[in-house]
Amino acid sequence: MSAAAREPVTRTRGMSPGVFWGLRLGLYGLGAVFLVTGAILLFGRPTGPRLLGIVGWLAAAIVLHDAILVPVLTLAGRVRDATGRRMGIPRAATRIVDAAVVVGGVLTLAVVPEIWAKQLGPANPTVLPGDYGIRLVVVWVVLAVLAAVGVVIVTRRARRAAAAR
């Protein structure tokens, strides 16, 4: 196990523990402000069935996240790391793939509702004029190409650096 993996969480490279904890507490405070603001907006306006629908949606989001997404992504990350180690791929290369997947996933989450709405047929044809499905596929292809190029570059540099030692 490397020394960095054995370090406690409170120690960070180049940052004093006081600054680390100050930043951490500040981010917790900011999250709490956003949480309270969201709760005020959520429970201050909708009533009746609309409020029950929102609460149901939030409960479903928690179940989706905790019961499906977290285990699947944790398993995928472990498989990715083990495969990368076996193949001798540098960790930076796997992080490039991670970044591409995260960007693609967020864009997919943003575009899927538009694709669904277009399939249902909007009341006004000018509301959803784009072909979102094809554009999403193009974005994923571009991300895959960029990630592949990045992985090749990082891997070659790492191998050259290892050969130079």
Using DSSP's 3-state secondary structure scheme, residue 46 falls into: coil
* Beta-bridge partner residues of 15: 12
Residue ranges of the chain whose pLDDT lies below 70: 1-13, 46, 122-123, 125-128
Domain extents in the chain: 1-45, 49-164
DSSP states of 52-102: HHHHHHHHHHHHIIIIIIHHHHHHHHHHHHHHHHHHT--HHHHHHHHHHHH
Question: How much is the pLDDT for 113?
Answer: 81
Closest CA to 118 of 131, 101, 136, 102: 131
pLDDT at residue number 144: 96
pTM of the model: 0.59
3-state secondary structure (DSSP) of residue 159: helix
Distance from C-alpha of 88 to C-alpha of 78, rounded to nearest angstrom: 15
pLDDT of residue 56: 85
> In angstroms, how far is CA 114 from the centroid of its own chain?
20
Q: Which tens digits make up the pLDDT trace of 122-161?
A: 667 666 677 888 999 999 999 999 999 999 999 999 989 8
